[in-house]
Amino acid sequence: MKNPFNRLASSPSAMGVAALVLLAVLFVAVNLFSMVTFRSAQIDLTQNRLFTLSKGTAHVLADLKEPVTLRFFYSEKLANDYPQIKTYADRARDMLEEIRDRSNGKIILQVIDPAPYSEQEDLAMSLGLKGAPTGDGDVIYFGLVGTNLVDGIEAIPYFSDARAPYLEYDVTRLIQNLARPKKPVLGIVTNLPMDTGSGGLLAAMKGLSQPFMVYEELRQRFAINFLEQDFSRVPSDVDVLMIAHPRDLNARTLYAIDQFVMRGGRVLAFVDPQSEVSFTPGADGKPVSGYSQSSDLGPLLKDWGVGYDTGSVVADRDLAMRVRSNADPRRPTSDYVLWLAVPGANMNRSDIVTADIGTINLGTPGYFTPLAGAKTRFTPLISSSTNAETLPVDAIRKGPRPDELLESFKPTGKSYVLAARISGPLSSAFPDGPPLPPASDSQKPKAQQQTLKQEPKDFIASSRSDANIILVADSDIFDDRFWVHIEGQGPDRTADPFADNARFIMSAIDNLMGSDDLISLRARAPGDRPFTVVDDLQRKADARFLAGQQRLQGQIAAAEKHIADLQTQSDAGGEDRDHEAAIKAETARVRTELLSSRHALREVQRSLRADIDRLGTRVRFVNVALVPLLLAAAALVLAFIHHRRRKARAAGGLK
């Protein structure tokens, strides 16, 4: 009997078919094995490690004392027709599964697909989840509900694309909130309409308020205690005191803040020589009365070893934000040196608060300096570039145009500190004890008068522990327009951050609270990867344009004045034909120069974007043509090498 394998071996075509079949079987087997064995394995090759759990999440999971149940509601069948939702949901589920696997059994994960008109859909609605309607009349649920062993419940109603960069932060914050018996208390002293936003208190009473998005973040994370700007003591339950652009504080209130610090309290303070957000319009469209343009903390800053000039703001050419400022359609935007987009390179990477911060946008900020002889440590957190100068506030309040600021810009070569951490031992700014109560206190109830009399017994002259204070010389960091795009109204608002303003504020408070876990959760690169080369080209082009514009406009003005003078001479010359001919010839020459100058100015305007256009052409060539050409060349080289080797083997066989 003949062996069939001998026949197979003698047929090259049969061998080829068998090899292809075996390769197909092997391919399917390897894929099935990989899906089962390496389902949770991953290699994160992104620059910012976007798909790797942060150390903060690991610490939060390690500190869990009681189980936390997470119910992930996802309409998987309905979402199959929406690739964007499906991709995001797969990423969210992978992250939740990794959190569960690394929690030592403390995280219980339930994945629920709420089919239409099912009990699961009713459960999702009862827990406050929001569905996204489809064009077919169905609703896609994509949210998370967490519960603990008592009555704690936290929810992410819908995983919005706008919050995708903050996915890990939001999930870990939800878990940490459920793991704590109560939220830490954040005391707030502010003159900003933080909780009402545009429209002020009157709009809030009508249910029409739009709180600052930073405040929405704060109240999800902390228990908020607003303090009136006239108090004699910071409540004992306040963990951190945030002072955000207060109006002028009286001596008693400053003393209360001073003693809070002496007792070991932590402070995050935002002062501003020129606050634009303080002019948030009220119900009548005008700024609410009582809001001040500048803020200070009086003797406290000096006692903390900090110099601060309420009469100066920082202008920065390198960090200037581009704003729409010109009617000329050929040059609609220009750099506004008073609004700064401070990149990560200008942050203190050694401090945990600013270690992973991207870009922070500030408006007309002030600056701090360390005072000579201070006992405290002055650590810069955010700084300007060296291509900066300081300008008097009075000149800024006149509303100079961006180009005027650029034309008169004179950098000092110094870098200015826009935010700093103050630490170390402190002595009270009130060495003689509490200030005398104002005369109006004689009219207060007897109980309050008795409290005032007892205060000297509680006086603390030196801090019980090293102070920990973070200062920021700007209040516009809270302004929504500086850091976030908002869609929707009321409770349905969604935020799409384009800067890390809120993240910096939250990180600073978390650090002062003594919890650094959430700080290390990198907001997954909100997509602000600026084209620094293009920005530099734009600034250089602007500089050339402004220099050329000033020179040519000077020539045009001189030519127009010369023509006017010649016209006056012609009128006074009477009937002298020779004189009149000479004047006409001179006028024609000057008009030719005028036309030439105007033509040159237009050429400067046309060349404004020439370098950027050339860069764009090169980038398009690299993306569209160069890479395919390189790949084709590599393929040809490999084919040639393979051909030479095969030819060499054939020649060797003939020998």
Digit-coded pLDDT (tens) for 91-101: 999 999 999 99
85 and 120 in a common domain? yes
What is the rounded CA–CA span in Å between residue 441 and residue 449? 7
The pLDDT value recorded for residue 282 is 52
Contact 274, 313 (CB under 8 A): yes
Q: Tell me the CA end-to-end span of the chain in Å, nearest whole number.
A: 38
The CA distance from 434 to 259, in Å, is 9
Residue 105 within any structural domain of the chain: yes
Reported as a single tens digit per residue, the pLDDT across 458-517 is 899 999 889 999 999 999 999 999 999 887 776 667 778 899 999 899 989 988 987 667
pLDDT of residue 413: 95
The answer to whether residue 329 sits within a structural domain is: no
Please check whether residue 383 lies inside any domain of the structure: yes
Q: Is residue 290 part of a domain?
A: yes
Q: How many CA atoms does the CB half-sphere of 411 hold within 13 Å?
A: 14
Mean of pLDDT values over 94-117: 92
pLDDT at residue 237, as a whole number? 93
State the pLDDT at residue 523.
Answer: 43
Tell me the C-alpha distance between 375 and 322, whole Å: 41
Domain shared by 507 and 423, yes or no? yes
pLDDT, mean of residues 400-409:
87
* Residue 487 shares a structural domain with residue 381: yes
Neighbours of 539 (CB within 10 A): 18
Residue 9 is predicted with a pLDDT of 54
**Residue-number span of the structural domain to which 246 is assigned:** 184-309+366-387+414-530
C-alpha angle 499-401-557 in degrees, rounded to nearest 5: 145
Greater pLDDT, 279 or 414: 414
Q: What is the mean pLDDT of residues 518-544?
A: 57
Within a domain: residue 171? no
- Position 650 in a domain: no
Return the minimum-mean-pLDDT range out of 201-205, 416-420, 474-478, 522-526: 522-526
Per-residue pLDDT tens digits for 154-190? 899 999 887 787 788 889 989 988 888 788 999 999 9
Q: Which range has highest mean pLDDT (314-328, 525-539, 616-630)?
A: 314-328
Identify whether 74 is part of a domain: yes
Query: H-type helices in 334-401, by residue range?
Result: 393-396
In one-letter notation, the amino acid at residue 542 is: D
**In a shared domain, residues 145 and 254:** no
Provide the pLDDT for residue 43: 62
The answer on 190 and 299 residing in a single domain is yes
pLDDT, mean of residues 303-331: 86
- 10 Å Cβ neighbour count for 284? 10
Q: What is the mean pLDDT of residues 591-599?
A: 70
Fill in the amino acid letter for 512.
L
140: CATH: 3.40.30.10
The answer on 61 and 29 residing in a single domain is no
Q: What local confidence, expressed as pLDDT, does residue 527 receive?
A: 43
The two tokens of residue 367 are 């600056």
Q: Could you give the CA distance from residue 134 to residue 139 in angstroms, rounded to a whole number?
A: 6
440 & 491 share domain: yes
246-260, 344-358, 384-398, 588-602: least confident range: 588-602
C-alpha to C-alpha distance for 335 and 543, rounded to whole angstroms = 10
- CA quadruple 156, 162, 164, 170: dihedral positive or negative? negative
Per residue in 9-56, pLDDT (tens digit) is: 555 566 666 677 777 777 777 777 766 565 555 566 555 555 678 888
State whether 524 and 578 are in the same domain. no
Q: What is the largest CA-CA distance in the chain?
A: 133
Is 309's pLDDT higher than 70?
A: yes
pLDDT of residue 24: 76
pLDDT of residue 640 exceeding 70: yes
Q: Are residues 304 and 420 in the same domain?
A: yes
Q: Is 625 exposed, middle or buried (0-12, 13-18, 19+ CB in 10 A)?
A: exposed
> Higher pLDDT residue, 539 or 259?
259
Is the predicted pLDDT of residue 73 greater than 70, yes or no?
Answer: yes
407/547 Cα distance (integer angstroms): 8
Q: What is the pLDDT of residue 292?
A: 67
Is 244 in the same domain as 379?
Answer: yes
Same domain, 471 and 559: no
- pLDDT bracket for residue 296 (50, 70, 90): very high
pLDDT of residue 350: 87
> Which among 530, 553, 569 is the end of a domain?
530
Residue 456 has pLDDT above 80, yes or no: no
Percent of the chain with pLDDT over 90: 37
- State how far the Cα of 384 lies from the Cα of 320, in Å rounded to an integer: 10
Specify the pLDDT at position 454.
Answer: 45
The count of structural domains within the chain is 4
Q: Look at residues 292, 222, 301, 210 and name the one whose alpha carbon lies nearest to residue 489.
A: 210
For position 208, what pLDDT does the model report?
60
Mean pLDDT of the chain: 80
| Residue 525 pLDDT grade (very low, low, confident, very high; cuts 50, 70, 90) | very low
Structure tokens at 264: 């070991």
Which residues, 6 or more positions from 533, have their beta carbon under 8 angstroms from its beta carbon?
615
What's the confidence (pLDDT) of residue 452?
A: 46
Cα separation, 369 vs 422, whole angstroms: 11
CB 189 within 8 A of CB 242: yes
Tell me: pLDDT of 528 over 50.
Answer: no
pTM of the model: 0.66
- Is 50 exceeded by the pLDDT of residue 453? no
437 and 575 part of one domain: no
Q: Is the dihedral of CA 402, 406, 409, 415 positive or negative?
A: positive
In a domain, 330, yes or no: no
CATH code for the domain in which residue 284 is found: 3.40.50
Is 385 a residue whose pLDDT tops 70? yes
